[in-house]
């Protein structure tokens, strides 16, 4: 699959890993729909990148909102635009809460919201985007599209207080292979990236000294990952047709401690 002449939807595309992915797509000659709730940052990024990018305010948990993003990707760039060839799901939230804390059991709403956004929201956009890709013509390799999900190393070694977050990300890991097997008949590949600790707005919410310590805990390189490094891997997944049905840890060999 080539970036040049193709259209991609990037959820959570207004900042962090998603914004880096949007920039990578446009730099490679593709067009990108920035599907995000953050209108201010999304519009700013779209203006920066020009006609090759469009912002669509998107709630990944809402069917109508997801459909609007797909419609914009299919027809929003004009008759000369390339077909919808990809979806990169970066939208997500972090939730930390102990199952039993000082004030009693964890809130059910916190668990439900985390799973709804991280897992159900990713499935929502995957099914809608795949439906649109199926209707497109395949390229010379028989490919119609590629879907990249964003999990986390927490799917494998979640920490205390991450039951909801880890469960939501582990769901994406478990969905990868069956989705790839099902969509293979249409020439659509499905891959998942499980990042470690990266420089994102989520990490920016924690104190600088703790963020620095997190970076130093990475075996090599001993620092936080850069969003451009995530985007680089997305680009390779898009280009390499043999990458399918697998989860790639992008983490500098970190294994998270219990706390």
Domains, the chain? 7-197+227-250 (3.40.50.720)
Angle in degrees, CA 149, 29, 47, rounded to 5: 85
Asked if residues 231 and 19 have their Cβ atoms less than 8 Å apart, the reply is no
Angle in degrees, CA 254, 255, 257, rounded to 5: 125
Active site (catalytic) residues: 165
Pairing of strands 84-89, 7-11: parallel
Angle in degrees, CA 250, 142, 191, rounded to 5: 20
Cα 109 to the center of its chain, rounded Å:
23
Q: Of 169, 259, 171, 254, nearest to 217 (Cα)? A: 254
pLDDT of residue 7: 97
C-alpha count within 13 angstroms, C-beta hemisphere, residue 37: 10
Asked if residues 54 and 232 have their Cβ atoms less than 8 Å apart, the reply is no
Identify whether 53 is preceded by a cis peptide bond (ω within 30 of 0).
no
pLDDT of residue 247: 98
Kindly report the pTM of this predicted structure: 0.95
End-to-end alpha carbon distance in the chain = 41
Asked if residues 174 and 123 have their Cβ atoms less than 8 Å apart, the reply is no
Mean pLDDT computed over every residue of the chain:
95
pLDDT in tens, the chain (259 residues): 999 999 999 999 999 999 999 999 999 999 999 999 999 999 999 999 999 999 999 999 999 999 999 999 998 887 667 899 999 999 999 999 999 999 999 999 999 999 999 999 999 999 999 999 999 999 999 999 999 999 999 999 999 999 999 999 999 999 999 999 999 999 999 999 999 999 988 777 667 777 788 889 999 999 999 999 999 999 999 999 999 999 999 999 999 999 8
pLDDT of residue 211: 77
Per-residue DSSP letters for 186-209? GTEEEEEEEE-SBSSTTGGGS-HH
Task: Kindly compute the dihedral angle of the four CA atoms of residues 96, 101, 106, 111, in this order, to the nearest 10 degrees.
Answer: 20
Q: Which residue intervals of the chain are DSSP H helices?
A: 16-27, 39-49, 63-75, 108-115, 121-134, 154-157, 163-183, 208-216, 227-239
pLDDT in tens, 202-244: 777 667 777 788 889 999 999 999 999 999 999 999 999 999 9
**Beta carbons within 8 Å of 166's beta carbon, 6+ residues apart:** 152, 154, 155, 158
């Amino acid at each position: 699959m080539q970036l040049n002449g193709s259209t991609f939807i990037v959820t959570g595309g207004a900042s962090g890993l998603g914004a880096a992915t949007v920039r990578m797509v446009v730099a490679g000659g593709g067009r990108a729909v920035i599907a995000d709730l953050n209108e201010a940052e999304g519009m700013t990024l779209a203006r920066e990148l020009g006609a090759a990018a469009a912002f669509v305010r998107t709630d990944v948990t809402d069917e109508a909102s997801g459909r609007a993003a797909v419609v914009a990707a299919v027809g929003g760039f004009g008759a000369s635009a390339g077909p919808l060839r990809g979806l990169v799901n970066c939208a997500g939230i972090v939730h930390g809460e102990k199952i039993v804390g000082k004030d009693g059991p964890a809130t059910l709403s916190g668990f439900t919201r985390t799973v709804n956004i991280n897992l159900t929201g990713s499935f929502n956009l995957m099914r809608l985007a795949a439906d649109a890709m199926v209707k497109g013509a395949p390229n010379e390799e028989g490919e119609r599209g590629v879907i990249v999900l964003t999990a986390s190393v927490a799917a494998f070694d979640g920490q205390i207080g991450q039951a909801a977050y880890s469960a939501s990300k582990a769901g994406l890991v478990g969905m990868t292979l069956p989705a790839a097997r099902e969509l293979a008949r249409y020439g659509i590949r499905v891959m998942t990236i499980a990042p470690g600790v990266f420089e994102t707005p989520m990490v920016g919410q924690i104190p600088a000294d703790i963020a620095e310590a997190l970076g130093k805990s990475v075996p090599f390189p001993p620092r936080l990952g850069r969003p451009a490094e995530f985007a680089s891997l997305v680009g390779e997944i898009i280009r390499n047709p043999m990458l399918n049905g697998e989860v790639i840890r992008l983490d500098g060999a970190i294994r998270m401690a219990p706390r």
